A = this chain, B = another copy of it.
Amino acid sequence: MKVIKSVPAMQQYSLAAKKHGKIIGVVPTMGYLHAGHTSLIDLVRAKTEIVIVTIFVNPTQFGANEDLSNYPRDFERDLQLCEQHGADVVFAPEPDDMYCADRSVWVIEEKLSRGLCGRSRPEHFRGVTTVVAKLFNITLPDVAIFGQKDAQQALVLQRMVRDLNFPVEVIVAPIVREADGLAMSSRNRYLSENERKSALCISRSLFNAELQIKKNGLAALGEILSSVWDNIREAGGAIDYVEGLDADTLEPVTEHTVAILIAVAAGFGRARLLDNILVKIKD
């Protein structure tokens, strides 16, 4: 497995691979890898000839008072996991090599990124779209994969690929959960033992919501969402949002809605946790 830190070296590697007709897959990550990430590597490994894992804690997607400086890192362990899962290249650039001091170009998304996380993190998604556009242009993938845990991010990036015509197939992979249901996240390490237990209310109330919808449809959606909200509040969560939206448009559910996304963001201790479920309501 190659470890590449230089931006031009990575781009040269991918340009050469493309010239030889190789199918490239990329798994963009911020490192501190867990079983969610390695499931992405495995899925891409099965579909491509060269798997590139990018490890880059992207400063432009963090707000001023967010956890950029404390974001968990363990590069050596990440490399081991990448190697074990058959990655060919780990691309781990330095922030100063990714961003010029006088940078002035951004990729922005103006619809899907407005609600949910975009409301409390107004600069977040332009950081995400910009860095992923850069990573695409540096690693030149045929296939890129993102996790459904960050459901809004996955939709925004699919929209970016469509609207800017990137020649990239985007795969969105299912959420990987701990045995007890907690969605895997690098930020789970911020949780104390008690916070960890309380945070279980998120996945439990989402699973319960899924059951209710499957049984009774969307007639009682308001009550279902209230009950998710109450459960998380009672467990001590600082709720950012609990929403049920059309899973394709992130707009309110309509008669055309094929699947509903119930999405939660809530703080437990220092950790802002995301989770969601996707429930198909029409064939």
Interface presence of A19 (CB below 8 A): yes
CA distance A87 to B100 in the complex (A): 35
Bound: A130/B107 CA distance, A: 9
Residues of chain B within 8 A (CB-CB) of A46 are none
A137 CA to B19 CA in the complex, in Å? 16
**B-chain residues with CB within 8 Å of residue A109 when the two chains form the complex:** 104-105
Any B CB within 8 A of the CB of A103: yes
Q: Separation in Å of the A218 CB from the closest CB of chain B?
A: 23
Q: List the number of copies, as a whole number.
A: 2
Bound Cα distance from A129 to B134, whole angstroms: 15
A81 at the interface (CB under 8 A from B): no
Measured between beta carbons, the chain B residues less than 8 angstroms from A41 are none
Contacting A111 at CB < 8 Å: which of B21, B104, B129?
B104
Say yes or no: is A227 at the interface (Cβ < 8 Å to chain B). no
A103 to B109, CA, bound (A): 9
Nearest CB of chain B from residue A45's CB, rounded to whole Å: 21
Interface centre among A15, A21, A129, A137 (most CB of B within 10 A): A137
Q: Which residue of B lies closest to A15 (CB)?
A: B167
Query: How long is the Cα–Cα vector from A160 to B15 in the complex, in angstroms?
Result: 19
A106 near B: Cβ within 8 Å?
A: yes
Say whether A193 faces chain B, with CB atoms less than 8 Å apart.
no
Q: Which residue of B lies closest to A21 (CB)?
A: B19
Q: What residues on B are CB-neighbors of A140 within 8 Å?
A: 167
Q: Is the C-beta of A279 less than 8 angstroms from some C-beta in chain B?
A: no
A146-168 vs B, CB cutoff 8 Å, 1 = contact: the mask equals 00000000000001101111110
The 10 closest A-B pairs by CB, nearest first: A105-B163, A104-B111, A137-B165, A19-B21, A104-B110, A134-B165, A103-B163, A105-B160, A105-B109, A138-B165
Query: Which residues of A line the B interface, CB within 8 A?
Result: 7, 11, 15, 18-19, 21, 100, 102-112, 129-130, 133-134, 137-138, 140, 159-160, 162-167
